[in-house]
Amino acid sequence: MAAYAYFPGCSLSGLGRPYDESVKAVFARLGLGLEEVPDWNCCGATSYMSINEEKAVALASRNLAIAEAMDRDVVAPCAACYLVLTKAQHVLAEYPRIAERVCHSLREAGLAYRGTVTVRHPLDILANDVGVEALRAQVTSPLEGYRVAPYYGCQVVRPYGLFDDMFAPRTLERVLGAVGAQVVDYPVKTRCCGGSLMGTEEEVGLRLNFLLLREARQRGANVLATLCPLCQFNLESYQGRMRRTFGEDVTLPIAYFTQLVGLALGLSPTSLGLQRNFVVAAPLPVPA
């Protein structure tokens, strides 16, 4: 049985709880083990790097050092965690001066990092470790009637493109297609949702997310699949405010891609945390 180290990140016990639940349920159903990185700390996200780049790398490196002892690939579902952990590794490899300082500070705290960890996204695991055909073979309730807009957002694909093309990624389409969903063409699929700007500059965040939702609806989608807890929250939770601000209804269920895959694998909506989503998949047929 394949086994992975699991880095849930802070969001997955809060806003992103359904993501945590659905990743665990899908991995369990596929016979993939997940063991949480012990005493992991916050990845630092964008905010930490905005204040002090070297401390941000050190913060992420404590996690890499702890995970290295587990000797298996680290799965990070949150787009920010995935990027920050990966970026820390790039900075350590490209800037020997920073690497020296960070390794020194880890040693001061009784830790060490040799640089052998591989950070992976669950989408990468489903498409490339499990494989699209093997996934298809496990489907018990194909997602008939689901017209999904595949939304990658920014930080899973950029700037390193570890498992897909950075300009025109296709992995999400392949996975959703394998579980029987119809995937609509969605050219803005890697356009940023604005991240935390929804909380700090709402006018800006509303506009960015409104454009993403309107495009998905115009393309005929009846659900949008996300890979990131912040994208999910921004796109889902402000739909009423967008309608009042822009005078156009953009109601659309926003699901984690793992929730959709889980439904197709015959898992119950509750085990996938679907009852915690705000815009329930009411227009969606429950898979037979």
Binding site for other proteins (CB under 8 A): 10-11, 13-18, 39-42, 44-55, 58-59, 61-62, 91, 94-95, 98, 101-102, 104-106, 108-111, 153-155, 158-159, 166-167, 190-192, 194-197, 199-201, 204, 208, 237, 275-278
Nearest residue to 62 (alpha-carbon basis) of 20, 110, 96: 110
Q: Is the dihedral of CA 13, 286, 151, 233 positive or negative?
A: negative
Phi, psi of 225 (to 5 degrees): -100, 130
Name which of 48 and 146 has its Cβ closer to other proteins. Answer: 48
Kindly report whether the peptide bond that precedes residue 159 is cis, defined as omega within 30 degrees of 0.
Answer: yes
Q: Is 236 helix (H, G, I), strand (E, B) or coil?
A: helix
Closest CA to 60 of 4, 7, 130: 7
H helix runs in 75-157, sequence order: 79-94, 96-108, 122-124, 132-138
Q: Please, what is the minimum distance in Å from the beta carbon of residue 84 to other proteins?
A: 10
Closer residue to other proteins, CB minimum distance, 11 or 258: 11
DSSP states of 134-155: HHHHH-SS--TT-EEEE---ST
Q: At its nearest, how many Å lie between other proteins and the CB of residue 85?
A: 14
Work out how close the CB of 72 gets to other proteins at its nearest, in angstroms, rounded to a whole number. Answer: 21
Instruction: Pick the closer one to other proteins by CB: 45 or 125.
Output: 45
CB of residue 257 vs other proteins: minimum separation in angstroms?
A: 18
Which CB, 222 or 277, lies closer to other proteins? 277
Nearer to other proteins, 135 or 155 (CB): 155
The minimum distance between CB 132 and other proteins, in angstroms, equals 26
Looking at beta carbons only, is 6 or 40 nearer to other proteins? Answer: 40
Strands (E), the chain: 3-6, 33-36, 74-75, 119-120, 147-150, 182-183, 223-226, 254-256
Q: How far is the CB of 197 from other proteins (least distance, A)?
A: 6
